[in-house]
Chains A and B, each alone.
Chain A
Amino acid sequence: MGEQATFEVSYTVEGADFSIAGEGAARLKRVLQQVGLPPALVRRIALATYEAELNVVIHAYRGVIKARVSSALVEVWVEDQGPGIPNVELAMKEGYSTAPDHVRALGFGAGMGLPNIRRNADALKITTVVGEGTALYMTFAGPSSEV
């Protein structure tokens, strides 16, 4: 893999700002399209990143999206400073949500975020500390990976 070109990028995410929620995922999507990854793969990565970004906006104070892109593997980290997730297993359940009412009124926080991420990512690792924050690590096999 030493010969393979990689590209790294990072975007910051502000908590509670719904007006720009999704901007980081949209910028990452543009980058992936510029690389020329297949549209279906781009969609999965953008969707998973968008959901993770939204979680930061809904629950955390601030966060950062980082991505490393190669033709074999796309890795995305979404790390936040926030309340953390007390029960990850519960949070992974479809429909389970701790989003406040005003967020749900906007149509967000339906409890589909983490399940959607798991569905779209090839692998997902969650590291979380209550009171400190959450780190998501998602990977997606690229077209040149040997599966």
Chain B
Amino acid sequence: MASYFHSVQLDEEKCRGCTNCIKRCPTEAIRVRQGKARIEAARCVDCGQCIRACPNRAKSVLTDSRAALKDFKYTVGLLAPSFFAQFRSNPSPGKVLAAVKLMGFTYVRGLFLAAELVASAIAKHLATTAGPFPRISTSCPAVVRLIQVRFPDLTRHLVTIEAPMEVAAYLARAEVRGETGCGDEDIGVFFITPCPAKITAVHQPVGVGKSQLNGGFSFSEVYADAYRLLASVKEEEPVVGSARGLVWARSGGEGEGVAIDDYLAVDGIEHVITVLEEVEMGRLRGVRYIEGQACVGGCVGGALVVENPFVARVRVAQVARALPLYSPPEITLPEEALVLKQDLSPRPFIQLDEDMEVAIKKLGELEKIVERLPMLDCGSCGAPHCRALAEDIVRDTAVLTDCDFVLREQVNELAQELISLTVLLPNAMGRKRIDGEGEK
């Protein structure tokens, strides 16, 4: 079994073993065991739903330490487009970049240009590919992993074009190398991210190649310093790129950048799932491209953002006015910079056993178990719903009496039996059988 890196972590001290997170996980990856939530690594897609659901703030994101900046001669801070929409005073993008630079980066860059290059590459791909349609965006890593684990057959629909974050890192590296003459190992590129999925993507692009990035910091940990430093900005940083790149911050922005009219933008992981189910059933016709984002509103709704996603969405439109509407990118990137390095192979978790014959037998058992369960989906057993408990039982990771209702039933049966035994007389007094079958 491959091991997977995950940025979503559990704080055991804070976890009370309640059932809020298990119900919200789109891949049913969490179980409560021994009073603590356990995340099954193979199923987790790092969407951040459990972080939002946890009333005890026990789920957190493993981000990199800012001390890591000292490990490199030159450092680059890459700001996600949604970061520019986090500030109430609506500072210009150049000022936000300058404030973050003051935190200790040698260089800071937005993702605007990279997003535009990626959009153009997607448009080109859509015009030439033979399908299968609809093609599905790979820019949201949580959606990509959702497809790998829950919709394995749809991995064929994923567009193998690198996300703006990676392309921006590629551009920044080339720029810094060109300017300083240093080697790649001297450059540390860090992403300022609205979501845990991007941090996972930085640390685990399994398969074909390695990420161009060295680490990631969350909006929430950078925000306070950036906000404070805005006042100290003397000179704005130059901004490369246009509003066409900025609008990737919110749902629909990618499709707008690709500039086709038969694209579908869907946000919020539950809604993404319903759309993917339609695709799987061949029901979604007349759509060439799907931009799916795990968070409501798109990246502005990430689990690590500071500002209310709906407010931030408005602000994206306001910030966009400070940028040119569209600037045709002057650089052409080498093919390799745009080819997705991530492994997109299916990671199905659903099958009950590796041996198909055994799986079929287990399925029969599963249905019998389901009939004994109350189907209240209360979650007290630690599984998100009754069917999931039945699956756990046939997988040998739970037992039937984990269900409180079944346990009560069995205790009741036992009590009845005890009562019956009390009327069973000793032989000397004339034995009476409880089952009414007479003496043996």
Which residues of A come within 8 Å of B, CB atoms?
4-7, 9, 22, 25-26, 29-31, 33-37, 39-40, 42-43, 46-47, 50, 69-71, 107, 116, 143-144
B412-438, CB < 8 A from A: none
Complex interface: chain B residues within 8 A of A107 (CB): 285
Complex interface: chain A residues within 8 A of B152 (CB): 39
B367 within 8 A of A: yes
Using known A-B contacts A31-B363, A34-B351, A39-B346, determine if residue A46 contacts B356 with beta carbons closer than 8 Å.
no
B88 within 8 A of A: no
Using known A-B contacts A26-B277, A43-B280, determine if residue A34 contacts B352 with beta carbons closer than 8 Å.
yes
Complex interface: chain B residues within 8 A of A22 (CB): 281, 283
With an 8 Å Cβ cutoff, the count of chain B residues facing the other chain is 26
Q: Is the CB of B363 within 8 A of A7?
A: yes
Taken together as a complex, chains A and B put the C-alpha atoms of A144 and B360 apart, in Å, by 13
Q: Which residue of B lies closest to A70 (CB)?
A: B360
Taken together as a complex, chains A and B put the C-alpha atoms of A33 and B351 apart, in Å, by 6
Q: Is the CB of B153 within 8 A of A39?
A: yes
B373 within 8 A of A: no
Q: Is the CB of A25 within 8 A of B357?
A: no
B336 within 8 A of A: no
Taken together as a complex, chains A and B put the C-alpha atoms of A83 and B228 apart, in Å, by 73
Partner of B357, one of A5, A9, A34, A40: A5
Looking at B348, B352, B361, B363, which has the most chain A CB atoms within 10 Å of its CB?
A: B363
B330 within 8 A of A: no
B353 within 8 A of A: yes
Complex interface: chain B residues within 8 A of A35 (CB): 351-352, 356, 359-360, 363
Q: Which residue of A lies closest to B153 (CB)?
A: A39
- Least CB distance from A115 to B in Å reads 13
Total A-B pairs in contact (CB under 8 Å)?
68
Q: Which residue of B lies closest to A8 (CB)?
A: B364
Complex interface: chain A residues within 8 A of B280 (CB): 29, 43, 46
Complex interface: chain A residues within 8 A of B357 (CB): 4-5, 71
Taken together as a complex, chains A and B put the C-alpha atoms of A5 and B354 apart, in Å, by 14
Q: Which residue of A lies closest to B150 (CB)?
A: A33
Taken together as a complex, chains A and B put the C-alpha atoms of A3 and B351 apart, in Å, by 21
Q: Is the CB of B348 within 8 A of A33?
A: yes
7 residue pairs A–B, Cβ–Cβ below 8 Å: A4-B357, A25-B281, A34-B351, A35-B359, A36-B352, A40-B153, A42-B153
Complex interface: chain B residues within 8 A of A34 (CB): 350-352, 359, 363, 366, 391
Complex interface: chain B residues within 8 A of A4 (CB): 357
- Least CB distance from A52 to B in Å reads 12
Q: Is the CB of B360 within 8 A of A6?
A: yes
Q: Is the CB of A43 within 8 A of B353?
A: no
Taken together as a complex, chains A and B put the C-alpha atoms of A142 and B350 apart, in Å, by 18
Taken together as a complex, chains A and B put the C-alpha atoms of A4 and B348 apart, in Å, by 24
Partner of A43, one of B153, B283, B366, B391: B153
Taken together as a complex, chains A and B put the C-alpha atoms of A30 and B354 apart, in Å, by 16
B282 within 8 A of A: yes
Taken together as a complex, chains A and B put the C-alpha atoms of A39 and B285 apart, in Å, by 21
Using known A-B contacts A5-B357, A70-B360, determine if residue A46 contacts B281 with beta carbons closer than 8 Å.
yes
Q: Which residue of B lies closest to A33 (CB)?
A: B350
